[in-house]
């Protein structure tokens, strides 16, 4: 063994100081964290479903948050897909896709102090789509969406709501009826003044997205109108649309969401592998009902349906 080799071997066998051992450990953890960060940012991540907003198609578990995270469905999110969409390489999300959305600043739950960093919802309307909800039935571009993927099990019966309901005078919107207390007239139950602080806070972006008012719109009485989803926005809803069963907080409450607020698309349920009815692993493909939606909106908005009490 040469003198140089003996010196190198002696150096390698020299006991490490406490400081050296500390930085060796720190470096190991830092490298592991860096790799994990890169994976969850650019490759894939998983998200646990909590709550009842996507029933009957996703199980949000039971009990308080820690327990719900263990008992609820966990979905797979390919992050590369998200970045490719943001770079314009891939197109828009499809109607019927299930997406993870950052909580909007005007979400009612946030105002009540029940902060949830992310929601999981289904894309209902894409940029340019015309949308309305008549008695709980969703219409997109004039086509009624078959909602049997929600109601088919008998667990969920969508509330018979109308959205958006407005009042106009001289061709101008003066009233808007929202689903949040304070955004409807407590006496008549009809639209609240469109310029009220609460209406503007929760529904300002929705009001801005209203379709043009038709010439034959009823004067001074509430009627069901339509939205035109703005560019780079999506109208999202949970599958659970029955308020008595913990119904979804979604675009009916805070309006269309910006595309940048979508953190990823849920493509599969990966955990738990089984539930009492059988295998739980499955792909989350859009329901066939969305295949029937025409790409181009109907020429004329369906407005003028009176909703006066």
Residues marked active site are found at: 53, 121
**Closest alpha carbon to 252 in 152, 167, 165, 149:** 165
Closest CA to 149 of 75, 226, 73, 58: 58
> Could you identify the residue written with the tokens 């018979």?
160
Q: What would the two tokens of residue 76 be?
A: 């797979």
Q: What are phi and psi of 278, to 5 degrees?
A: 130, -155
Q: Which two tokens stand for residue 190?
A: 């009809």
Q: How far is the C-alpha of 65 from the C-alpha of 266, rounded, in Å? A: 20
Q: How far apart are CA 81 and CA 87, in angstroms?
A: 10
In angstroms, rounded to a whole number, what is the distance separating the alpha carbons of residues 188 and 185?
A: 6
* 285/267 Cα distance (integer angstroms): 7
User: 236 near 124, Cβ under 8 Å?
Assistant: yes
Kindly report the number of other CB atoms within 10 A of residue 163's CB atom.
21
Rounded to an integer, what distance in angstroms lies between the CA atom of residue 195 and that of residue 176? 9
């Amino acid at each position: 063994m040469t003198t140089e080799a003996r010196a190198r071997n002696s150096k390698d066998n020299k006991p490490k100081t406490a400081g050296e051992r500390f930085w060796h450990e720190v470096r190991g953890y830092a490298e592991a964290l860096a790799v994990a960060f890169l994976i969850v940012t650019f490759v894939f991540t998983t998200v646990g479903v909590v709550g009842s907003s996507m029933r009957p198609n996703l199980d949000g578990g039971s009990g308080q948050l820690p327990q719900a995270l263990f008992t609820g469905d966990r979905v797979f999110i390919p992050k590369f897909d998200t970045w490719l969409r943001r770079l314009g390489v891939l197109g828009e999300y499809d109607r019927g896709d299930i997406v993870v959305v950052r909580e909007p600043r005007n979400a009612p739950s946030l105002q009540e102090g029940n902060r949830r960093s992310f929601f999981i919802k289904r894309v209902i309307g894409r940029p340019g789509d015309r949308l309305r909800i008549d008695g709980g039935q969703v219409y997109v571009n004039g086509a009624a969406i078959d909602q049997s993927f929600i109601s088919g099990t008998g667990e969920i019966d969508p509330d018979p709501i109308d959205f958006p309901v407005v009042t106009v005078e001289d061709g101008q919107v003066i009233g808007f009826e929202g689903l949040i207390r304070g955004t409807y007239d407590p006496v008549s139950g009809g639209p609240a003044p469109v310029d009220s602080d609460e209406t503007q806070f929760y529904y300002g972006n929705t009001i801005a997205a209203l379709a043009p008012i038709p010439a034959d719109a009823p004067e001074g009485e509430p009627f069901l109108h339509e939205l035109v989803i703005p560019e780079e926005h999506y109208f999202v809803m949970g599958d659970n649309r029955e308020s008595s069963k913990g119904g979804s907080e979604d675009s009916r409450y805070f309006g269309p969401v910006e595309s940048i607020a979508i953190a990823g698309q849920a493509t599969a349920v990966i955990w738990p592998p089984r539930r009492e009815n059988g295998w739980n692993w499955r792909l989350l493909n859009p329901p066939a009902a969305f295949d029937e939606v025409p790409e181009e909106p109907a020429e004329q908005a369906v407005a003028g349906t009176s909703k006066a009490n």
